């Protein structure tokens, strides 16, 4: 694997050197054309059909390649949805689970505040011809409706670890943002009341640090029995925080079912990250 990676890096450097030698307008024109024409489309086969992913970077490529293996518990959860259900994907990133659910003929509302990820999310919707099943919005959710900032740990294509209204990471610790972007945020209750969107039967929350605020801002929505299940990613090492989030969801009439993550996360910095799944009782 290292030999292949070294060979790839050497070939890339050789190509970049060759382009630079041309200089000036020709160099930038060739670079622009290569960037447009060589971005790969990766196709993943599932039991419901094939999904195509636009992958102009290493992280989007990895997300596409690990569609079925990064979070198998999320795939299993989506497989329980009924045909006429509505799925809200909050923190959709480039849309791997949005696309998977839509391929299963589920109506999806997809929310992603990062501009680069929102672009890739919509490109993926376009190349899969799923705009009739997916509505994607570039907004954040929070406990209140407000204009504020999205604090981004990085701006890489397919990157994560951003936080709305305050620069805290998924462990609840402050971080220094590499970029701060103006963003509008809604409480889920306000969003539902103001816009009357497709009402969610299933909600996925993957927002890296402010899950408690999003749950707080969805108090009335979660009491509605049309919400059948919730999946929320949490750091199990934050025991009091997890307890707070779980109790808020359970007060809305949901029962905690399980917490899971893939074996690839058993060790390392994300070993405490789990998807917590709740079902209506």
User: Strands 134-137, 107-111: parallel, antiparallel or unpaired by DSSP?
Assistant: parallel
Task: Work out whether strand 146-152 and strand 107-111 pair parallel, antiparallel, or are unpaired.
Answer: unpaired
User: What is the structure's pLDDT at 171?
Assistant: 87
User: What is the reported pLDDT for 170?
Assistant: 86
pLDDT of residue 41: 93
Which homologous superfamily is 58-280 in?
A: Vaccinia Virus protein VP39 (3.40.50.150)
Output the CA torsion sign for 7, 9, 10, 11: positive
Residue closest to 255 by CA, chosen among 277, 240, 275, 274:
277
238 vs 244: CA distance, rounded Å = 10
> Diameter of the chain by CA atoms?
67
User: Could you tell me if 199 and 86 are in contact, meaning their C-beta atoms sit under 8 angstroms apart?
Assistant: yes
pTM, 2 dp: 0.88
**pLDDT value, residue 208:** 85
Q: What pLDDT does 225 receive?
A: 97
For residue 148, what pLDDT is reported? 97
Q: What residue ranges of the chain have pLDDT lower than 50?
A: 1
* DSSP per residue, 214-242: HHHTTHHHHHSTT--EEEEEEETT-HHHH
User: Which pLDDT score, from 0 to 100, does residue 108 have?
Assistant: 98
In a 3-state reduction of DSSP, which class is residue 129?
coil
Task: Return the SS3 of 138.
Answer: coil
Q: What is residue 4's predicted lDDT score, i.e. its pLDDT?
A: 52
User: What sign has the CA pseudo-torsion 144, 150, 156, 161?
Assistant: negative
The predicted pLDDT at position 149 comes to 97
Structure-block tokens of residue 77: 């959860």
- Strand 202-205 vs strand 229-235: parallel, antiparallel, or unpaired? parallel
| The predicted structure's pLDDT at residue 20 | 67
User: How far apart (Å, rounded) are the C-alpha atoms in residues 116 and 214?
Assistant: 22
Q: Is 37 exposed, middle or buried (0-12, 13-18, 19+ CB in 10 A)?
A: exposed
End-to-end C-alpha distance for the chain, whole angstroms: 48
């Amino acid at each position: 694997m290292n030999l292949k990676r070294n060979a790839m890096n050497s070939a890339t450097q050789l190509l970049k050197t060759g382009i630079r030698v041309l200089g000036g307008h020709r160099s930038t024109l060739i670079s622009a054309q290569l960037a447009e024409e060589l971005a790969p489309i990766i196709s993943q086969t599932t039991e419901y059909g094939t999904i195509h992913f636009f992958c102009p970077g290493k992280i989007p490529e990895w997300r596409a390649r690990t569609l079925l293996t990064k979070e198998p518990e999320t795939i299993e959860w989506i497989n329980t949805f009924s045909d006429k259900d509505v799925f809200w994907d909050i923190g959709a990133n480039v849309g791997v689970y949005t696309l998977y659910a839509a391929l299963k003929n589920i109506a999806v509302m997809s929310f992603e505040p990062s501009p680069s990820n929102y672009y890739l999310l919509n490109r993926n919707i376009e190349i899969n011809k799923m705009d009739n099943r997916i509505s994607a919005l570039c907004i954040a959710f929070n406990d209140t409706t407000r204009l504020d900032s999205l604090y981004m740990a990085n701006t890489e294509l397919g990157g994560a670890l951003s936080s709305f209204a305050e620069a805290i990471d998924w462990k609840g610790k402050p971080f220094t943002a590499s970029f701060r972007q103006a963003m509008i945020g809604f409480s889920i209750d306000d969003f539902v009341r103001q816009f009357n969107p497709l009402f969610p039967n299933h909600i996925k929350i993957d927002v890296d640090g402010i899950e408690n605020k999003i749950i707080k801002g969805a108090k009335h929505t979660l009491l509605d029995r049309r919400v059948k299940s919730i999946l929320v990613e949490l750091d199990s090492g934050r025991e009091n925080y997890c307890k707070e989030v779980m109790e808020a969801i359970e007060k809305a009439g949901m029962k905690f079912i399980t917490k899971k993550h893939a074996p690839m996360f058993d060790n390392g910095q994300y070993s405490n990250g789990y998807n917590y799944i709740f079902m209506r009782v």
